[in-house]
Structure formats: structure tokens, C-alpha cells
């Protein structure tokens, strides 16, 4: 047991975070024309800058990487300039923010792809899931398998997106390797039946994720590079027959790269923590740098896990939507406001920037 608290400063690479509470990535579908985040998004993140670390909503590295309507990108100059407003707002309040880099792979729809093209995937296996497109939830489209000679372009798109994020003022990036998106699709054999160097064995299925991580480290440095993984989450219809061996290997290789953190979804994303047997402590033991724990954490669970040294930082997702001052509320044990589910995806200020801080709420 340790005497650490959630509210003490923490050193993450070269950064000093004001506390151990992380705002998890939260897709809100409010990017403007050209998939550019705007002034409202700057206000939203600025309101939540008291988190020790903010991780942005998932942000596509290319149009091909988009899977939901009105999500932001980081591949055009206009998008870089839009994101700079957000990083400026967060830094003005003393916050730190990483950009989550995203390629959804097969979790997309032809209406989001250039010229109505099919989404891409490790293998031509349609995901049993829906996506948010045309202002509603619809089945994803049939994907096509990526050709071997296309994979270096995917890696390079992540590399360039990381460089663009730093140009936009981010403190670092988080590679999205979780929740059934492209890199997770390659890692898990329910979605990957390739017979080339990117399929079959544990090492081959991990190859694309590790090549992306290596390219990002080479571009912006290991101290600015994190990754999110979800070893046993069935999100977006993926599963691995050997998750412990697969992700023990992945984390060992990520440790060798020296990246600053792994962000681990423990259990089913947004669901049961015990969805499948898995020893998350094994990942913790294999990784020398920061372990961010995610999934179903509240004050009590985070405090107990910190005391047991099970993790260094703790990510909170939906509570940050309705509680811009979540850190203060947790520290004072104040009640938490509840999320309006009707305003999570898409829209304007309602359910986005109009949730009051507790001081304002108590006056109303």
C-alpha cells in the first residue's frame, strides 16, 4: 500500500501533470466544415483543463480513417489551425493535452469515404456493429482487405498526423490501438485472417501497431507518444483467441520503444470489467513507464488501485461530459451531474459546453 493520492502532481515524461486524473477520449461529433474543430470545441476542452491530462476525442489521420460523421481530422492545414485554438485554450489554464490519432478501418460507411469507396480492413470481414452517419446509427459497410503495399502509407499517415499534432501545439499524441479500430483489427484474429507478414502469428498480427508506434516515436519522440489498447474488449465486434499472449508481447515491444504510457481499457469498453479472464497486472509488470487505467473507474476504485500500485493515472470518460470540473468534484466528494444521452453525439452547445461547474450549479 502507498500514500499516493489522485490529486498530487505526477511526472509524465518531461511534463508535470497537476494530478493523476485523465480525461479519456470522448467522441462528440461536432467538427465543422472540413472536419475542423472550432471555437465551441476550444471552449469545451478549456472548461476541462483541470484534468492532469486531457486526451482529445479520436481524430482521423486521413479521410480513409474516418468512421463517424463530424469527427475532426489532423491531415489538413485548416485542421491544424483549428486544433491550435484548443491547445491554446487548454495551456492558458495550465492544462496538458494529447491528441488521439485514429484510423477506424472497417468501422466506417461508404458515405464517409472518398468517392464512396469501401472502408479498408486487415481482411474483408464486415464488422457486426453500427456507426453514426447521416444523423443516425446505421450498419457499417462491407470492407475490402488492404493490399500489402498499402500498409506503409497507413504507417506514414500516422507519422504525419503526429507531426501535425505537434505543429498544432499538442503536448503529445495517443495512438488509438483499441476498441476494434484498425490497429486492433490487425491484432485480433477474429478480424484478421491474413496469411502474409501481417497475419497469423502473434508477432505478425502485432506488426502494424508496432510499426505505427515506431514511426511516431521516430517523428516526435518517445516521451510524447502514448497508445491505447483494449486486450479483451469486444467493442466493434473484435476478439482474440490468445489475448494474454498477444498483448503481453505487444506491451513488451512498446516498452522497448520507450513510449511514455500505455492506456489500457480493462474489460469491455464502457461495460463489464470482468468480461473475459485477463491479467492486467502482467501488462503493468512488462511496462516501465506510465500505466493509465481505464474503464468504470470512480473515486473509490481509483483510490484503492492507486494505493495498491496497480496504475499511475486513471482515466474518466463520461463523467467529464457533464462535469467540466470533475477533478474538483472528486476532491471535495461533491455529487456528480448526470449526462444527457440525447446530446452526446452531434449538435451544438447544448449538452456540450453548457454543463455548469459546481460553483455555478449551486448558485442556480
Torsion sign over Cα 68, 70, 71, 74: positive
> Is-contact 8 17, C-beta < 8 A?
no
Q: Using the CB atoms, write b or e for 336-345: b if 16+ within 10 Å.
A: ebebeeebbb
The DSSP secondary structure of 62-81, one letter per residue, reads SSTT--STT--BSSSHHHHH
Catalytic residue among 44, 68, 181, 345: 181
Residues forming beta bridges with residue 136, ordered by sequence position: 133
> In whole angstroms, what is the distance from residue 75 CA to residue 58 CA?
13
CA terminus-to-terminus distance, the chain: 42
Helix, strand, coil in percent for the chain, rounding step 5: 40, 15, 45
Nearest to 216 by CA among 188, 169, 174: 174
**Alpha-carbon distances, residue 221 vs 159, 227, 332 (angstroms):** 11, 13, 37
> Is-contact 244 282, C-beta < 8 A?
yes
Whether 181 is a known active-site residue: answer yes
What is the DSSP-derived secondary structure letter of residue 240?
Answer: -
The three cell numbers of residue 132 are 453514426
> In whole angstroms, what is the distance from residue 305 CA to residue 21 CA?
13
| Residue 245, number of CB atoms within 10 A of its CB | 11
Phi-psi region of 32 (alpha: psi -120 to 50; beta: other; left: phi over 0): beta
Instruction: Please list the active-site residues.
Output: 181
Amino acid at each position: 500500500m502507498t500514500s499516493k493520492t489522485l490529486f498530487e502532481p505526477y511526472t509524465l515524461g518531461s511534463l508535470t501533470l497537476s494530478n493523476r486524473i485523465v480525461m479519456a477520449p470522448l467522441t462528440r461529433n461536432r467538427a465543422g466544415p472540413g472536419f475542423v474543430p472550432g471555437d465551441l470545441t476550444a471552449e469545451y476542452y478549456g472548461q476541462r483543463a483541470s484534468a492532469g491530462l486531457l486526451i482529445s476525442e479520436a481524430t482521423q489521420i486521413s479521410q480513409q480513417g474516418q468512421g463517424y460523421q463530424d469527427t475532426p481530422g489532423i491531415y489538413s492545414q485548416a485542421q491544424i489551425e483549428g486544433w491550435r485554438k484548443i491547445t491554446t485554450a487548454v495551456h492558458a489554464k495550465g492544462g496538458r493535452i494529447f491528441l488521439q490519432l485514429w484510423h477506424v478501418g472497417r468501422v466506417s460507411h461508404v458515405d464517409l469515404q472518398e468517392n464512396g469507396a469501401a472502408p479498408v480492413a486487415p481482411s474483408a470481414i464486415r464488422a457486426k456493429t453500427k456507426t453514426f452517419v447521416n444523423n443516425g446509427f446505421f450498419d457499417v459497410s462491407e470492407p475490402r482487405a488492404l493490399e500489402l503495399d498499402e500498409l506503409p502509407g497507413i504507417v506514414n499517415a500516422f507519422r504525419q498526423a503526429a507531426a501535425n499534432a505537434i505543429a498544432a501545439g499538442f503536448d503529445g499524441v495517443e495512438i488509438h490501438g483499441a476498441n476494434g479500430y484498425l490497429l486492433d483489427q490487425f491484432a485480433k484474429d477474429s478480424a484478421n485472417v491474413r496469411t502474409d507478414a501481417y497475419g497469423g502469428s502473434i508477432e505478425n498480427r502485432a506488426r502494424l501497431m508496432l510499426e505505427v508506434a515506431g514511426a511516431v516515436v521516430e517523428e516526435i519522440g518517445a516521451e510524447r507518444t502514448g497508445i491505447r489498447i483494449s486486450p479483451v474488449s469486444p467493442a466493434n465486434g473484435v476478439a482474440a483467441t490468445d489475448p494474454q499472449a498477444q498483448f503481453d508481447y505487444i506491451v513488451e515491444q512498446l516498452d522497448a520503444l520507450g513510449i511514455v504510457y500505455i492506456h489500457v481499457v480493462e474489460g469491455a469498453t464502457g461495460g463489464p470489467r470482468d468480461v473475459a479472464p485477463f491479467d492486467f497486472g502482467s501488462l503493468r509488470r512488462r511496462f516501465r513507464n506510465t500505466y493509465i487505467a481505464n474503464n468504470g473507474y470512480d473515486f473509490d476504485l481509483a483510490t484503492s488501485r492507486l494505493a495498491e500500485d496497480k496504475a499511475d493515472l486513471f482515466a474518466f470518460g463520461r463523467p467529464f461530459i457533464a462535469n467540466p470540473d470533475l477533478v474538483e468534484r472528486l476532491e471535495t466528494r461533491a455529487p456528480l451531474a448526470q449526462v444527457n444521452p440525447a446530446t452526446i453525439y452531434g449538435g451544438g452547445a447544448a449538452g456540450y459546453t453548457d454543463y455548469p461547474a459546481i460553483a455555478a450549479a449551486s448558485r442556480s
